[in-house]
C-alpha cells in the first residue's frame, strides 16, 4: 500500500529558500503562469475582461469606483513585482504572496491591508490553496495558486447586482471574497460529516483494521483544516478589533458574521476530532472484546476435551493386563466402556456447569444491540 | 444496526447556502410554516391572541407597555422579512434567524439586542432547537423552529402576574425567556445523570460490548450540549459585561443569576464527561481482567493435562516388547499401571503446587466486592 | 453490587423548580426544619442563645457590636423570608440559600455581601453541605443544611476571646467562618492521602479488579471536591481583588491567607488526580504483564509436549507390521524404545534451549522488587 | 513490598491545626530545636557567630550595614515569636514560617518582604525543606527546617568578598539566597536525567514489570518538584513585576536571571514528564509485542501438530480390520506407513507455507535494532 | 543496544556551576577556543578579516557604519571579558553567553539588546548550538559554540550588497542573523517530514517493534526543538511589542515576518507531534489486530481437531471387546470405520459453520486496503 504523501512539505520544496534576503520574490518552478482578470464596477455599471498588459489596469483604476484584479497562478516573478509597483505594495507582502504555504494572517501597510488565507478544495485528502488579498481604497487585488475556486458566487453578485455589493466600496468586496472562502468550508464539513458517519457505522457494526487507518487519515485531514481555519479566525478577529484603514464600520458588521462562521467551522472541526478520538477507543475496545470471545471459545473447547483425551489415552495404553491383575483391570470389566463413557460425560458436564456459572456460555442475557438502539430513540 | 445520524449536518442541508449575498433569508424546504402569537401586558392587564395579519401587531405596540410576538416555525421568508421591516431589524440578524444551526451569540443593533440560543428537547439522542430573541424598548420578538418548548411557565407568570414580570419592561421579559431556556437544561441533566448511573452500574457489574457504544453515544450527546451551552454562557456574560442598550441595571442582577445557571450546567457537563471517560477506562480494564481469567483457566487445564496425555501416549505405543527387553519393559511390570498412576498424580500435584504458588488458584484471598462497598459507605 | 448513587442529581430533585419566577423560595420536602441560634459579642462580653422568635434578633442587633445568627436547616420558607426582610436581603440571594446545590460564589448587594460555599463532611463517598453567609456592617447571618459541621472552633474562639476575633468586626467573623470551612478540607485530604496510599500499595503489590473500581471512586470523589473548592477559590480571590463593602483592609490580609489555603487544597486535589491516573496505567500494565506470564507458561508446556505427544501417537498406530517391511519397522528394532526416548529428550532439549535464548525461562536475572526499593531509598 | 509513604501528608500531621485562630504559632513535636547563627558585613569587614540570646542581635543590627540571622530548626515557638517581635514581623507570616508544608509565595508587609520557598535535598525519593526569608532594609532573617542545605556558597562569597555581595544591601543578599536555593535544583535535575536515561535504556532493551513502577515513582517525584518550583517561579515573577519595597532596581536585574533559572527548571521537569509518559507507551507496546511473539510460537507449534496428532490418533484406533474390509484397510497396505508419513509431511508443509505467507516465520526481514540505531546517528 | 544519551544534561556538566556569584564567566573545559572574525560595511564598501587582537576592533568601530564581530567558540574567559569591557556589556549577559544551555531570551541593557537563541544542526538526533547576539547602535557582536552554521547567506548578502542590508543599520543586520537562524529550521522540518512519512508508511504497512522506538525518538527530537523555538517566538514577540532601543520601526516590519516564521515552525512541530501520537495509536491497534488474527488461527485449528482427537482416542482404547458385548462394539461393526469418518466430518463441518457464522473464516468481505486507498483519492 502506497501511503499518501504528507502535503505540508511542499513549502520547503518551493516558494521559499532559506537565507535569501527578505522581500525576494522567488518563483516555484511548478507554479502556474499567472492569468489576470479584471472586474470593475460602480453602482450603475460593471465591466470585466482578461488582462495581458498590466498598464491597462491604470485605466480601470481611474474610471471605476471599485476595481478587482484577480491573478490565477504565481509563476512569473516579473508580473507580480510590476503589480506590486503599480499598487505600491510592500516587498515583504509580495514575498508572502508567492510563499505558498504561508500561515493565514493580516498585515496593515499604510493605506492598504494585506490578507492571506487558504481556499479549500473538495475531496479527500484535504487540499488547500493560498489566497492573498490586497485591499486599498478603490481596488482589490487577489492572487490564487490555480484557476478555479469558490469566487464565482461573488462574481455573479457583481454581475447581477445582487445584495449591496455594487453600492459598496472595495472593503465590502474584500469582505465578500473572504466570506466566500470561509463559506466554502461548509461543503467540506458536510462531506466530512458523511465520512465520520461512515466510519462510525463501521466501528459500531463491523470494525476492521482498515477502519483505524481511515480514522487516522480523517484526523490528519482535520489537523490540516484546523491549521488553516484557526489563524484565519484570529486574523478576522484582529481586523474586527483593530479596524484597519480601508475597512469601514458598515463592512465590519458583515465581517462579524464571517467571524462567526470561522468560529463555527472551528467548533465543528473540534467536534469531529473528539468524535474520531472516541471512535478509536470504541474500536480498541471492540478488538479486545472479539479477542475475549475467541479466547472463550478456545478455552471452552480445549478445557473440555483435553482432560477427556487424557482419559481416553489412559485406556489406550498397552500395559500387559496378563502380567498382573493390577494392570488396567478396567479394560476387562463388563461395563468398563460404559463406565468410561459415564466418566467422560460427568467430567464434561462438570466443566460446562463451571463455565455456565462463570457466564461464559450463552453470553448471558443482556440488552441486545437492537434494544439498545430502541432505547436510544426514545 | 442502523447508526443514528449525526444531526450537526443539517445546517449544510438547509438554512444556509454558501455564496449567497449576506442578509439573504433562505427558507429550508422542510421548515414549519410560521404561526404567530402575541402577548401584551402592562402592570394591570394583559391580552393574548394568535395573529395572522402582521399589521395587527402595530396596534399592540402602541397600546401596551410590553408586546411579545412569538413565531413558531421559520418556513415563510416573506413573513419573517415583513416582521423585520416592522421592527426595523438588521437583515443579517434575519438571516441568522433562519440559519437554524447558528451558534449562540448576541449582537447589538442600535436600540435593539439580538440574541440566539438553543432550546433542548427531552429524550436521547439530544435534540436542540434554535431560539432567537429580539429585544427592543417595548417589544420582544421570538422565533422558534417548532411549536412547543419550554416557554409556558413564562406565559403563566404573565397571565397570573406572578413575580415582578408584569411590573417590569421588555428586557425583564427577555431575561425570563432566556432563563426559561437555560432552566430547561436541568431536566435534561437530571435524566442524563440517570443514564450515567445506569452505565456506571453496568460497567462495574456486568460490562458488555454494548456498554462501550452506550458510553460513546452519551459522550457525543454531551459534546452537543456543551457546544450549545458554552457559547450561551459567553453570550450572557458579554451582555452582563457590556450592558447592551435595552437591558436595565435591575434586570442585569437577574441575568447574573441566569449566568450562574449556565456555568453550573457547563460544569455538570464536564463532570459527566470525566465520569464517562473514567468509565471507559474501567471497562477496558475489566475486559483485560476477564481475558486474564479465561487464559488462566485454559492454561491451568492445558498445562496439567498435556504432559499427562503425553505419558499416556507413550504407554499406548506399540513397540514390540517381544523383540527386545529394552522395548517398554514397564508394560509388563507387575505394578506398571500403578506406577503410571502415581507418576500422573505426582506431575499433576507438582503443577498444581506451582500454580498455587503463583496465586493462580483460588484467586487469593482479597477484599471482595461487597467488603469494598461496605468500605465505601463508612 | 449496588452502585452508589451519584449525588449531584439532588439539585434537580428539590430546591429548584425550572420555570418558577426568580426569587421564589422553594423548600425541599426533605429539608430540615430551621433551628436558629444567636451569638453576639463586643470586646468585653458575649452572649449566646437559641432563638425561636425572629423578632428577638432586633434586640441583639441594637445592643452588640457583632451579632451572628446561625440557621441550621432550610425547611421553612417563611422563617427564611422573614429573616430576609429583617436584614434587608435580596430575594435572589434568598432563593440561592435554599437552592442547595448552588455553585460557590459571592454577590454584593448594596451594603452587604452574600457568600455561598460548601462544607465537607468526613467519610467516603464525599458529601458536602451548602453554607451561605450574609455579612453586613454589624451582623453575620449563616445558613447550613444540617446541624453540626466545622464551626465550633470559631464559637470557642468567641467564647474564650482567643485571637483578635472579639476585637474585630463582623467582616472578621465572616472571614473566620470561611476559614473554618476551608480548613475542614484538610482532614479530608489527610484521610484521602491514606486512601491513595492504600490503593498505591495494592496496585504495586497485588492488584485486583476491585482496585480499578476503587481508583474510579476515588477519582469521582476528587472531581466533586474540585467542583466545590475551585469556585470557592475564585470567589475569595474576587473578594480580595474587588474588595466588597463590609470587608476592611485589615481583614483582607487574613483572607489572603485563606485564599492560599484554597489554592493549596486545589493543588493537592490535582496532585492526587494525577497520582490516581498514573496508578491506573500501572495497573493496566501489571494486568498485561500477568497475562504475559500466564501465556508464557502455557506456551512453554504446550510447545514442548504437543510435538512429543505426536511422536508417541505415531508409535501408537496400528499399521500392520506383518503386512510389509515398510510398515513401522522401528517397532521391532532392538533399541526402538530407547531411540524414541532419545528423540523425545532431544526435541524437548531443543525447545528448552530455544526458550532459554528467548529469555522465557527463569525470567532472566533482573532487579528484584526489593532491590528496586532499596534503590529508592538511597 | 513496602510502598514508600506519600510525603505530602505531613502538613496535616503537624505545623497546622485546623480551626485555631490565624496567627497562632504551633510547633510540631518532631521539629528541630532552633539554632541561630548571625553573619553581618559591610563593604570592608564581616563577622559571624552563633547566637543564643536573641537580644544580641540588636547590637549587630545597629553596627553593620547588613545583618543576616539564620535559624535552623522550627522547634521553639517562643524563640520564633521573640524574633518576630524584634523585627516587627506580622503574626500571619510567623504562622506561615512554622507551617512547614506551605506553598511558595511572597507577601509584602509594610517595609519588609516575606518570601517562602523550598530547598531540595539530594537523593530519591525527592525531599524538600521549607525555607523562609524576611528581607528588611538592613536585615535578612531566614528559617530552615533542618541544619545544612545549599547556602554555604553564599556564606563563602560573604567571607571572601566574592562578586558584589559585600558592596550591596540586604536585598542583594536575599536575592543570593533565593538564587542559591533555585540553583540547587540543577544537581537534582542532573541526577534525575541519569535516572530517566536508565529507565529509557531499560524500556528499550529489556523492560520488566519493575520498570513501570520506576516510571511511576519518577513521575511522582517530578510532580512534587513541579509543585514547588512552579509557585516559586510565579513568586519571583510577582516580585519582578510589582517590585516590593526593599528590592532595589539593581537587584531586580539579578532576580530576572534567577527567574530565568526557575523557568528553565520547570521546562526540564515538563520535558522529563513527557519523556516518561512516552516511555510508558513504549513499554506497553513492547509488552504487547512480546505477547504477540509468544502467541505466535504457541500457535505455530499447536497448529502444526494438533492435526498431525489427530491423524496419528486415527491410525491408532482399534477398529477390527478383520470384521470388515471397510475397517481401516490402510493399516494393511504395503506402503501404508509411508503414505502416512507423506500425508503428515504434506500437512506440515502446507501449514508452514501458510505461516510463511502470513509473515509469522523468520519474523520477516526488517531493519534490526542496530541498523535503526545507526540510522539514528547519521 | 546502546541508548543515545539525553543531551539536555550537558548544561549541568559545564558552563554553569551552582552557587558561584552571578556574572562569573566560567569556561567549560571542552569548549572551543574562540576565533574572532570581523565584517564591517557601509552603503558603499565593506571589509572583512579575522582578528587576533581585540584592540583592532576599535578601529573598525570608529570607521564603519556597522561592525559585526563574530566569535566562534567560547573557550577563553579572558577574550570574552575583554570583549565585554570594550562594548560595555553587562556581566550577567556575559555569563549567559558562556552558559551554553541557556533558554532563548532577550534582555535590554541600556543602549544595547542582548538576544540568545539556538541554531539547529542538520541530522538526527537533533543537536542545537547556542547563538548569542549583542546589538548596539553601530555594532553587532555574535557568539557561537562552534565554527560553521547558518550565517553564510547573510555574509553573502553583505559582500554582494543583496537586498537592503548594506543600506541599513546594525539592527537590520541583527534581524538578518536571527532570520537566518530561524530559517535554518526549515530544512530540519523538511527532513523531519520525510522521517514522519517513513514511519507512517511503516506503521500502515508492516509495523515492527522498532517502529515504536522510532516514534519515541522522533517525539523526543520534537520536544527538544519545541523547547528552543517556543521561547524564541516569545522573545521575538516581546521585541516586537516593547521595541527595545536599537531596533528601528523599519526593521520591526521585517522582524514581524521572522515572527511569523517561528509561529509556523512551532505549528509544524505541533502537527508532527499529533501525527506521531496518532501513529502510536494506529500501531497499538495493529498489534492488537495481529494478535487477534493469530488467536483466530489457533482457535480454529485447535477447536476443530481437539474434539476429533478425542474421538480417535476413544477408539484407540483397549477395552477388551471379548470380555463383554458392551465393550466398544463399534470396533467390530462392519461400517464402524466409515461411521467414525462420517462423525469426524460432521463435527468438523459443524464447527466450521459456527466459525463461518462468527465471521472468523475468510475474514468476511470488507473493503480492501486498495479500495480504501482509492476512496482516499477521490
- Contact check, Cβ <8 Å, B338/A326: yes
Smallest CA–CA distance from E90 into chain D, residue = D253
Which chain B positions have a beta carbon within 8 Å of C1's beta carbon?
204-205, 369-370, 373
Q: Which alpha helices (H) appear in chain D, and where do they start and end?
A: 10-13, 56-63, 77-87, 91-98, 152-159, 170-183, 185-205, 209-242, 249-314, 336-358, 369-377
- Contact check, Cβ <8 Å, C331/B324: no
- What is the model's pLDDT at position D243? 66
Closest C-alpha to B255, from C108, C102, C22: C22
Calculate the CA dihedral of residues D355, D358, D361, D365 and round it to 10 degrees.
Answer: 160
- What is the model's pLDDT at position E7? 37
- What is the model's pLDDT at position D254? 86
Exposed, middle or buried by CB within 10 Å (0-12, 13-18, 19+), for A52?
Answer: exposed
Query: Does residue A300 sit within a domain?
Result: no
What pLDDT digit, counting tens, does each position of A136-174 carry? 888 999 999 888 778 888 998 899 888 788 888 899 999
- Contact check, Cβ <8 Å, C212/B370: no
Query: Does residue D371 sit within a domain?
Result: yes
If DSSP states are collapsed to H, E and C, what string results for chain B?
A: CCCCCCHHHHHHHCCCCCCCCCCCCCCCCCCCCCEEEEEEECCCCEEEEEECCCCHHHHHHHHCCEEEEEEECCCCHHHHHHHHHHHCCCHHHHHHHHCCCCCCEEEEECCEEEEEEEEEECCCCCEEEEEEEEECCCEEEEEECCCCCCCHHHHHHHHCCCCCHHHCCHHHHHHHHHHHHHHCHHHHHHHHHHHHHHHHHHHHHCCCHHHHHHHHHHHHHHHHHHHHHHHHHHHHHHHHHHCCCCCCHHHHHHHHHHHHHHHHHHHHHHHHHHHHHHHHHHHHHHHHHHHHHHHHHHHHHHHHHHHHHHHHHHCCCCCCCCCCCCCCHHHHCCCHHHHHHHHHHHHHHHHHHHHHHHCCCCCCCCCCHHHHHHHHHC
Residues E180 and E329 placed together within one structural domain of the fold:
no
Could you give phi then psi for residue E36, rounded to 5 degrees? -105, 145
Least confident of A245-249, C275-279, E55-59: A245-249
Which are the contacts of A96, defined by CB distance < 8 A and separation ≥ 6?
Answer: A102, A107, A114, A116, A132, E257
Smallest CA–CA distance from D360 into chain E, residue = E294
Q: What percent of chain D has pLDDT over 90?
A: 20
The Cα A73–Cα A150 span in angstroms is 15
Give the one of C8, C123, C124 whose C-beta lies nearest to B271's C-beta. C8
**CB proximity D19 to C under 8 Å:** yes
Residues A158 and A40 placed together within one structural domain of the fold:
yes
Residues C261 and C165 placed together within one structural domain of the fold:
yes
What pLDDT digit, counting tens, does each position of B49-60 carry? 998 888 889 999
Which are the contacts of C157, defined by CB distance < 8 A and separation ≥ 6?
Answer: C163, C165, C176, D21
Q: Total domain count for chain C? A: 2
Mean pLDDT of all residues in B31-38:
87
- What is the model's pLDDT at position B23? 67
Residues E50 and E162 placed together within one structural domain of the fold:
yes
DSSP state of A156: H
- Residues of chain C with pLDDT below 50 are 1-15, 364-378
Which of A260, A283, A306 is where one domain is finished?
Answer: A283
The Cα A154–Cα B21 span in angstroms is 8
- What is the model's pLDDT at position A6? 36
Tell me the CA distances in angstroms from C230 to C137, C223, C225, D8, E201, one per residue in order: 28, 10, 8, 20, 46
How, if at all, do strands C35-41 and B139-144 pair?
unpaired
- What is the model's pLDDT at position A18? 57
How, if at all, do strands D139-144 and D66-72 pair?
parallel
Q: What is the pTM of this model?
A: 0.80
Give the one of B193, B271, B319 whose C-beta lies nearest to C336's C-beta. B319
C-alpha cell at position C186: 484538610
- What is the model's pLDDT at position A362? 60
- What is the model's pLDDT at position B246? 78
Give the one of C5, C216, C312 whose C-beta lies nearest to B317's C-beta. C312
The Cα A113–Cα A115 span in angstroms is 6
Average pLDDT in chain B: 82
**CB proximity A263 to B under 8 Å:** yes
Residues C267 and C337 placed together within one structural domain of the fold:
no
How, if at all, do strands A66-72 and A139-144 pair?
parallel
What pLDDT digit, counting tens, does each position of D293-335 carry? 888 888 888 888 989 989 888 888 888 877 788 888 888 888 8
**CB proximity E180 to A under 8 Å:** yes
Closest C-alpha to E143, from E180, E176, E99, E105: E99
Provide the number of CB pairs (under 8 Å) joining chain D to chain E: 214
pLDDT band, very low/low/confident/very high, at A17 (cuts 50, 70, 90) = low
Query: Does residue D301 sit within a domain?
Result: no
Exposed, middle or buried by CB within 10 Å (0-12, 13-18, 19+), for A75?
Answer: middle
Which are the contacts of C10, defined by CB distance < 8 A and separation ≥ 6?
Answer: C100, C101
**CB proximity C20 to B under 8 Å:** yes
Q: Is the peptide bond before C125 cis (omega within 30 degrees of 0)?
A: yes
What pLDDT digit, counting tens, does each position of B329-358 carry? 888 888 888 888 899 899 999 989 988 888
Higher per-residue pLDDT: D1 or E284: E284
Higher per-residue pLDDT: E344 or D5: E344
Query: Does residue C26 sit within a domain?
Result: yes
C-alpha cell at position C170: 463582623
Which are the contacts of C377, defined by CB distance < 8 A and separation ≥ 6?
Answer: none
Residues C271 and C194 placed together within one structural domain of the fold:
yes
DSSP state of A118: E
Which chain B positions have a beta carbon within 8 Å of C206's beta carbon?
359, 364, 366
What pLDDT digit, counting tens, does each position of E292-345 carry? 888 888 888 888 898 998 888 888 888 887 778 888 888 888 888 888 889 989
Residues A37 and A98 placed together within one structural domain of the fold:
yes
Which of C283, C298, C331 is where one domain is finished?
Answer: C283
Mean pLDDT of all residues in B88-108:
83
For chain D, which chains pass the contact test of at least 3 CB pairs under 8 Å?
C, E
B305, A308 in Cβ contact below 8 A?
no
Using CA of residue B151, residue B156, residue B158, residue B162, what is the dihedral sign?
Answer: negative
Task: With a cut of 50, say whether residue D200 has pLDDT above it.
Answer: yes
* Number of Cβ within a 10 Å radius of residue D120: 24
Tell me the CA distances in angstroms from A124 to A98, A120, A195, B12, one per residue in order: 25, 11, 10, 18
What pLDDT digit, counting tens, does each position of A86-134 carry? 888 888 888 888 877 778 888 888 788 899 999 998 777 888 889 999 9
C244, C108 in Cβ contact below 8 A?
yes
Q: How far is B304 from chain A (nearest CA, A)?
A: 9
Query: Does residue B34 sit within a domain?
Result: yes
Residues A266 and A340 placed together within one structural domain of the fold:
no
Q: How far is D361 from chain E (nearest CA, A)?
A: 12
Using CA of residue D224, residue D228, residue D231, residue D237, what is the dihedral sign?
Answer: negative
Q: 3-state DSSP call for residue E344?
A: helix
CATH code: domain of residue B42: 3.30.460.20
Average pLDDT in chain A: 82
Which of A283, A298, A328 is where one domain is finished?
Answer: A283
- What is the model's pLDDT at position A211? 87
**CB proximity E125 to D under 8 Å:** yes
The Cα B214–Cα B195 span in angstroms is 9
Quote the ipTM score: 0.74
Residues C166 and C293 placed together within one structural domain of the fold:
no
Give the angle subtended at the CA of E13 by the CAs of E10 and E19, to the nearest 5°: 125
If DSSP states are collapsed to H, E and C, what string results for chain C?
A: CCCCCCHHHHHHHCCCCCCCCCCCCCCCCCCCCCEEEEEEECCCCEEEEEECCCCHHHHHHHHCCEEEEEEECCCCHHHHHHHHHHHCCCHHHHHHHHCCCCCCEEEEECCEEEEEEEEEECCCCCEEEEEEEEECCCEEEEEECCCCCCCHHHHHHHHCCCCCHHHCCHHHHHHHHHHHHHHCHHHHHHHHHHHHHHHHHHHHHCCCHHHHHHHHHHHHHHHHHHHHHHHHHHHHHHHHHHCCCCCCHHHHHHHHHHHHHHHHHHHHHHHHHHHHHHHHHHHHHHHHHHHHHHHHHHHHHHHHHHHHHHHHHHCCCCCCCCCCCCCCHHHHCCCHHHHHHHHHHHHHHHHHHHHHHHCCCCCCCCCCHHHHHHHHHC
Residues E256 and E338 placed together within one structural domain of the fold:
no
Q: How far is A19 from chain B (nearest CA, A)?
A: 41
Q: How far is C262 from chain D (nearest CA, A)?
A: 11
**CB proximity E325 to D under 8 Å:** no
Containing structural domain, residue B45? 19-283
- Contact check, Cβ <8 Å, A316/B318: no
- The enclosing H or E element of A216 equals helix A209-242
Query: Does residue A292 sit within a domain?
Result: no
Q: How far is B365 from chain A (nearest CA, A)?
A: 19
- What is the model's pLDDT at position A243? 66
Cα of first residue to Cα of last residue in chain B, in angstroms, is 44
- Contact check, Cβ <8 Å, D92/C257: yes
- What is the model's pLDDT at position D291? 84
The Cα A131–Cα E296 span in angstroms is 53
Query: Does residue B299 sit within a domain?
Result: no
- What is the model's pLDDT at position A23? 66
The Cα E22–Cα E28 span in angstroms is 16
The Cα A377–Cα E195 span in angstroms is 47
Query: Does residue B82 sit within a domain?
Result: yes
Residues D109 and D162 placed together within one structural domain of the fold:
yes
Residues C265 and C314 placed together within one structural domain of the fold:
no
Closest C-alpha to C224, from B268, B92, B186, D153: B268
Amino acid at each position: 500500500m502506497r501511503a499518501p504523501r504528507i502535503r505540508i512539505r511542499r513549502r520547503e520544496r518551493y516558494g521559499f529558500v532559506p537565507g535569501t534576503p527578505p522581500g525576494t520574490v522567488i518563483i516555484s518552478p511548478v507554479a502556474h503562469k499567472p492569468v489576470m482578470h479584471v472586474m470593475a464596477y460602480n453602482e450603475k455599471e460593471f465591466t470585466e475582461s482578461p488582462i495581458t498588459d498590466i498598464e491597462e489596469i491604470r485605466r480601470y483604476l481611474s474610471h471605476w469606483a471599485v476595481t478587482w484584479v484577480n491573478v490565477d497562478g504565481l509563476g512569473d516573478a516579473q508580473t507580480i513585482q510590476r503589480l506590486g509597483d503599480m499598487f505600491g505594495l510592500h516587498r515583504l507582502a509580495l514575498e508572502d504572496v508567492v510563499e505558498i504555504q504561508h500561515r493565514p494572517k493580516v498585515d496593515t501597510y499604510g493605506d492598504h491591508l494585506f490578507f492571506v488565507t487558504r481556499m479549500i478544495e473538495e475531496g479527500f485528502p484535504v487540499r488547500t490553496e493560498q489566497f492573498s488579498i490586497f485591499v486599498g481604497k478603490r481596488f482589490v487585488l487577489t492572487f490564487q495558486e490555480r484557476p478555479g475556486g469558490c469566487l464565482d458566487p461573488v462574481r455573479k453578485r457583481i454581475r447581477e447586482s445582487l445584495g449591496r455589493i455594487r453600492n459598496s466600496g472595495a472593503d465590502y468586496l474584500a469582505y465578500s471574497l473572504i466570506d466566500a472562502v470561509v463559506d466554502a468550508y461548509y461543503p467540506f464539513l458536510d462531506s466530512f460529516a458523511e465520512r465520520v458517519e461512515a466510519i462510525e457505522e463501521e466501528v459500531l457494526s463491523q470494525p476492521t483494521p482498515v477502519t483505524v487507518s481511515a480514522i487516522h487519515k480523517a484526523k490528519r485531514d482535520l489537523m490540516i483544516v484546523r491549521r488553516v481555519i484557526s489563524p484565519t479566525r484570529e486574523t478576522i478577529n484582529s481586523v474586527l478589533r483593530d479596524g484597519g484603514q480601508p475597512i469601514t464600520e458598515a463592512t465590519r458588521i458583515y465581517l462579524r458574521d464571517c467571524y462567526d462562521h470561522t468560529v463555527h467551522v472551528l467548533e465543528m472541526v473540534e467536534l469531529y476530532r473528539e468524535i474520531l478520538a472516541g471512535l478509536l477507543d470504541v474500536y480498541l475496545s471492540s478488538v479486545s472484546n472479539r479477542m475475549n470471545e475467541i479466547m472463550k471459545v478456545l478455552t471452552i473447547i480445549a478445557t473440555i476435551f483435553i482432560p477427556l483425551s487424557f482419559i481416553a489415552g489412559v485406556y489406550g495404553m498397552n500395559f500387559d493386563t496378563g502380567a498382573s491383575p493390577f494392570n488396567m483391570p478396567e479394560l476387562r470389566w463388563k461395563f468398563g466402556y460404559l463406565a468410561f463413557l459415564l466418566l467422560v460425560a460427568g467430567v464434561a458436564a462438570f466443566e460446562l456447569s463451571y463455565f455456565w456459572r462463570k457466564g461464559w456460555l450463552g453470553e448471558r442475557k443482556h440488552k441486545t444491540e437492537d434494544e439498545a438502539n430502541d432505547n436510544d430513540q426514545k
